[in-house]
C-alpha cells in the first residue's frame, strides 16, 4: 500500500511521484511493482518481464516506460542526493573505500559509460532489508558443521537495474541484459568481520547482480 499520509516523507518526495502512469490498454510484457522507501511509503515502477527468448515489447509499452521515466528519475535523484550511490563496474575490484556519488546525472553518466548504454532507463529497483550472513571458504562444503571464516552485515539498500532504449527507425526497442554495472543506494556501510583475526573491513557488492539472469 502506498501511504500519502506520512507528512515528513511528502515534504521530501511529493506524493504525486509515487504513483506510476496508467496505460489505457493492456501491457502484457510489463508488471507494476511496488518498491518501499520507508516503513510508511512506497513507489510504483513499471518492470519489464524478462525472458531469454522474448525481448519484444509493444510500442505502447515502450512509450509507457519512456513517459514514466522522468517520474522514476525524480525519486531516484532524491534518494541519491540524500544517501549517495555506490557505482561499480564489472572489472572494478578495489571498492572497499569507494566514495558515493550524490548527483543522479553523474550516476546516469556512469551507467552510460560503463554499461555502454545509449539511453539508460531504470526498469527495476530491488530493496533488500538488513541481513547478517556467514561467509564460508569456497573449498568448505560442510556448511553449518564448520564455523564460517567471516560474518557479513549488509544494511538495507536498493539495487537499481538499468536497461537501454535503442533507437530503431522512428521508434525504440528495449535492450535487456547489457553490460553489467552495479548501482546501489546503501543506508550504511556493509562490513565483513573475520572470525579468527577479528579484522573487519567494508565490502560493497551487489547481491542481486550475480543471479540477475536467473531471477527475471
pLDDT at 142 over 60: no
Number of domains in the chain: 1
- Range of weakest confidence among 7-21, 57-71, 78-92, 160-174: 160-174
Contact status, residue 192 vs residue 203, Cβ threshold 8 Å: yes
Max Cα distance, the chain (Å): 61
Which tens digits make up the pLDDT trace of 15-36? 999 999 999 888 999 999 999 9
Say if 94 falls within a structural domain: yes
Mean pLDDT, the chain, rounded, equals 84
Residue-level pLDDT at 139: 56
Say if 102 falls within a structural domain: yes
DSSP 196: T
> Which of the four pLDDT bands, split at 50, 70 and 90, describes residue 89?
confident
Q: In terms of residue numbers, what domain contains 170? A: 7-215
Beta bridge partners of 186: 157
> Which cell goes with 188?
550504511
Which tens digits make up the pLDDT trace of 96-129? 678 899 999 999 999 999 988 889 999 999 999 9
Residue-level pLDDT at 65: 94
Q: At what angle do helices 59-83 and 104-114 cross, to 10 degrees?
A: 120
Say if 155 falls within a structural domain: yes
Residue-level pLDDT at 175: 80
Residues in Cβ contact with 78 at an 8 Å cutoff, skipping those fewer than 6 apart: 12, 13
Say if 1 falls within a structural domain: no
Say if 114 falls within a structural domain: yes
Amino acid at each position: 500500500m502506498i501511504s500519502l499520509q506520512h507528512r515528513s516523507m511528502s515534504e521530501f518526495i511529493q506524493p504525486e511521484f509515487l504513483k506510476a502512469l496508467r496505460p489505457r490498454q493492456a501491457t502484457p510484457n510489463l508488471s507494476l511493482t511496488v518498491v518501499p522507501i520507508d516503513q510508511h511509503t512506497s513507489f510504483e515502477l513499471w518492470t519489464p518481464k524478462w525472458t531469454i527468448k522474448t525481448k519484444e515489447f509493444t510500442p505502447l509499452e515502450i512509450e509507457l516506460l519512456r513517459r514514466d521515466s522522468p517520474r522514476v528519475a525524480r525519486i531516484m535523484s532524491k534518494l541519491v542526493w540524500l544517501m549517495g550511490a555506490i557505482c561499480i563496474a564489472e572489472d572494478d575490484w578495489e571498492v572497499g573505500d569507494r566514495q558515493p556519488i550524490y548527483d543522479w546525472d553523474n550516476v546516469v553518466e556512469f551507467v552510460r559509460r560503463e554499461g555502454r548504454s545509449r539511453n539508460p532507463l531504470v526498469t527495476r529497483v530491488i530493496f533488500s532489508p538488513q541481513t547478517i550472513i556467514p561467509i564460508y571458504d569456497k573449498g568448505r562444503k560442510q556448511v553449518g558443521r564448520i564455523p564460517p571464516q567471516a560474518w557479513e552485515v549488509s544494511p538495507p539498500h536498493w539495487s537499481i537495474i538499468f536497461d537501454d532504449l535503442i533507437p530503431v527507425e522512428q521508434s525504440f526497442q528495449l535492450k535487456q541484459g547489457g553490460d553489467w554495472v552495479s548501482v546501489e543506494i546503501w543506508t550504511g556501510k556493509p562490513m565483513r568481520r573475520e572470525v579468527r583475526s577479528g579484522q573487519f573491513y567494508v565490502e560493497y557488492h551487489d547481491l542481486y547482480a550475480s543471479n540477475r539472469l536467473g531471477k527475471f
